[in-house]
Every structure is written in C-alpha cells, then in structure tokens.
Amino acid sequence: MKSSAQFLLQLVNEACRHSPGSKERQQNLTQIIRLVDSQLWRESTPYYEDALQETWIYFCQNICEGNSGKVYDPDKAGVVTWLNNYLRWRLKDGYIKTVKQNQQKVSVRVSNDNKIIDPVDNLPAKSSIPPLLEEIEQWVLADSQNKLRQIYVENHPQITAQTLILSRLPPETPWKQLAAEYGVSAGTLSSFYQRKCKPLLREFSKSQGYV
C-alpha cells in the first residue's frame, strides 16, 4: 500500500506529464491541493490567508516548471514540506510587514490645553524588529555559498540548516510542530539547531558587526 507521500508524488508526476493549462494537469493539481491543504501549517494571523494564497500560486507555477522560483525537487523534500517551507517564509514576511506598519501609525493626540501635540512627538521608538533579523532572513534565503543547504540532519537531507533557521525565526514554529511534520523527534531537531545552526548564526552576526 502506497504512503501518502508516494501517492502525492504519483499525482505530481501525472500532472507534469500534461501540458500547462490542460484539463488533465488542472485535475491532478486540484487533487493534490485537496490532499495537501489539511496538512499545511495553520495559524490565526491577519496575514495568513494572503500567505496561503501566495503559496498556492507558487505551487502551481513551480511544481512542474520553475516559472517563479526553483522547480520542485522530490529528492530534496516531500510536497507538504516544500509547501510548508514556502508558506513559513511568506508568513515571516507578513509578520515583519505588519510590525513595520504598526510602528508607522501616528495617532493625533490633544494636550490638556486643547493643543494638538506634534505627531513627531508620538512617533514610536525604533523598530522592535532588529535590523539583524531582516538581514538574517535575507542571508538564509539567499544562501549565496550554498552552505546552509549542504548542512542537514543525519539521514534527513530535507531538514537543512536553511530550513530550520527559517522555521525558528520569529514567529517561531514550535519544535513539536516541526517534529510532527518531518517525522523526527523534537530533541533531534533542537540538538541539531544548537550544534549546527546557532554557530552559523553567530558567525553571520559577527560578520555583520552585531557581536
């Protein structure tokens, strides 16, 4: 009996046999979406639906051909893991964008003598998102030296340092959720993060002058 991952891969292969836009491909893609949807990461944030929509667009554009990114590679990750990784990246973008927008809002205040207080006096302090956080995200996503993709959990090449660091950037994905998704114990993931990912993060922070 085929596993869920094997069945999904079969559907992917079947979909990609047909030309883009064909009825046959659309039917297979729709079936994949229905099977995968319940397995995707969920959270109750205001930007979740937008991130999910972007993920499905990314899925349709890159599952067979790399139209807006790298084409899906089943040797690196299952369909669910591939999509969850992309979804988390979009959620982190949404998180950063939302915080920035909130910090840019300036409310009009009136003093006790009915004078409007200069809005400049109400400007929030500097961003609560450290510049380092955004720089780390850009560094991890770019991985220009392909270093982060080459470091992975033993016997699990799909769980790379790149994937795990992104998953643990604010808002952090719980270890329990990651363990369930990858089929690896939370302890194994946490240990790998401490031993392999944190030294890489410290090295990058030092190179940027933050440490």
Q: Tell whether 123 is covered by a domain.
A: no
Q: Tell whether 196 is covered by a domain.
A: yes
Q: Are residues 154 and 196 in the same domain?
A: yes
The structural domain count of the chain equals: 2
Average pLDDT over residues 74-93: 88
Handedness of CA 130, 159, 206, 191 (dihedral sign): positive
Instruction: Provide the domain limits for residue 93.
Output: 1-103
Q: Tell whether 119 is covered by a domain.
A: no
**Band of pLDDT at residue 151, cut at 50, 70 and 90:** very high
Q: Token pair of 49, please?
A: 């639906």
What residue ranges in 50-164 does DSSP mark as E strands? 152-153, 156-160
Task: Using alpha carbons, select from 56, 77, 73 the residue that is nearest to residue 65.
Answer: 73
How far apart are alpha carbons 89 and 137 in whole angstroms? 9
Q: Tell whether 27 is covered by a domain.
A: yes
Q: Are residues 93 and 174 in the same domain?
A: no
Q: Token pair of 159, please?
A: 């769980």
How far apart are alpha carbons 95 and 97 in whole angstroms? 6
Higher pLDDT, 11 or 172: 11
Q: Tell whether 125 is covered by a domain.
A: no
How far apart are alpha carbons 207 and 200 in whole angstroms? 11
Q: Are residues 85 and 181 in the same domain?
A: no
Q: Tell whether 112 is covered by a domain.
A: no
Q: Are residues 66 and 143 in the same domain?
A: no
How far apart are alpha carbons 179 and 175 in whole angstroms? 6
Q: Are residues 98 and 163 in the same domain?
A: no
In the block, residue with structure tokens 């392999």: 196
Average pLDDT over residues 88-93: 87
Q: Are residues 142 and 205 in the same domain?
A: yes
**Cα angle: 181, vertex 187, 193; to 5 degrees:** 85
Predicted TM-score (pTM) of the model is: 0.66
With a pLDDT cut of 90, the percent of the chain lying above it is: 43
Q: Are residues 11 and 97 in the same domain?
A: yes
Q: Are residues 49 and 8 in the same domain?
A: yes
Q: Tell whether 55 is covered by a domain.
A: yes
Q: Tell whether 110 is covered by a domain.
A: no
Q: Are residues 142 and 93 in the same domain?
A: no
